[in-house]
Amino acid sequence: MRAPSLSLAAVVAAATVLVLAAMTPAAEAGLCSKACDKWSPCCVPSANGAFCANQAWGCMESEGCDKDSSYNKMCTPRPMCKSFREDFNSPASLIDKYNYTGDPDAVHFWREFPGADYAEVENGNLVLSLKWNDKLGRGQGATIPSVRWMQYGTVSARIKTASGPGVVSSFITKTDISDKVGDEIDWEFIGANATEVQTNSYWNGNIDYTRGKQYLLPAGQSTTNEYHVYTIDWSPERIKWQVDGNTIRTMTPADVKNEFPTAIARVYFSVWDGGCNQPPGTTKWALGPTEWCNDASKRGDVKKMYIDWVEVKCATEDSRDTKEFKPTIVPPTSASGANNAPKSTIKGTSSGTTTDESAGGSSSSKNPKDGGDNGATSVIASIMAVSVPIVAAVAALF
């Protein structure tokens, strides 16, 4: 999301550093300093280098897996669109990224920043929470992307947004967490103005806030007090934004001089603090400051965004067998001499924790008046620390 009409970038990008979400491997041969072995077969880029991973997410081309350094060119293909409906009736419908098994049909959404994302499945809803964080000096929220990618189709979600000045909820499609890469189609909701919804789109990393449009809900309706169904209907000919089945905006390539979103994208949900310890333009757009900025008595409050269900209808279905997405990773105990695969450590992090920046729960949003990133900045670095054991020598990353 990006500030005025943001997109999930602002929440997700606090991770402008999360360079691997959708980026393809670098062209030069061998990102990793050594070729990866069968115990940790997949070479993945990070903010401070590259490392050999022994988890399925690290073997995904969509996460930047580099075939030249990976064992037997292990990288698995990007999971593309397969139509589904997720009602969030089970806690198992949301996982940490690092618990992904390699089966893109097993779960539809993951926590992009495990340990930093406040997101749970509760009472039939995906609940994204925004909580005060002392170290950040603002709220820490959540960034939740889909596992599969799409290029054209319809995405609908029944949502009740978070309330309060400075609080921003987002529902978007986006090519990459970084605002500087790819395309984006946005729904943005300002918690201090529950009678209005905002729409926008971005193309090829170009941030143009003049495309943003606002829409007032019918009298008596609210984004924060009740659920509404928000839809992105995306085709090569036009994008339609719909509220409760009613089209409120249509955009064609001609409307934007052919700077029209066409790149593959994931579905994202996020909630973030746009009104505290942010650039002035962002705070103004988010109708901040956020209550807890100057009032410590408010710092125990929790702002929540609720997603009741999500439905994706693909323009093109991915018919590949899910076996194609599952890498072969040899457990260390199966190796000759048992346990002779080296254990890996991730510098700068501890199990289950993340850096202060990653805890921001915001994407790399920008405001036209600020001209710079306003999300937390060095997310990926610490995010890689997980409570899942990683069996591989890893070259000083993060």
* Rg of the Cα atoms in the chain: 20
Helix/strand number for the chain, H first, E second: 3, 19
Q: Is the peptide bond before 289 cis (omega within 30 degrees of 0)?
A: yes
Amino acid at 141: G
Tokens in use for 164? 């309060």
Identified catalytic residue from 63, 86, 112, 188: 188
Nearest to 380 by CA among 64, 77, 74: 64
Burial class for 373, CB neighbours closer than 10 Å (0-12, 13-18, 19+)? buried
- Whether 184 is catalytic is yes
Residue 188 known to be catalytic: yes
> Of 63, 86, 112, 184, which residue is the catalytic one?
184
Whole-number Å distance between alpha carbons of 247 and 221? 17
> What is the CB neighbour count within 10 angstroms for residue 352?
12
Contacts of 342 (CB under 8 A, 6+ apart): 39, 391, 392, 393
Strands (E), the chain: 42-46, 49-53, 84-86, 94-96, 109-111, 119-122, 125-133, 138-140, 142-145, 153-160, 167-174, 184-190, 196-202, 213-216, 228-234, 239-243, 246-251, 266-273, 302-314
Contact 190/168 with Cβ under 8 angstroms? yes
Closest CA to 65 of 55, 57, 79, 75: 75
Residues serving a catalytic function are 184, 188
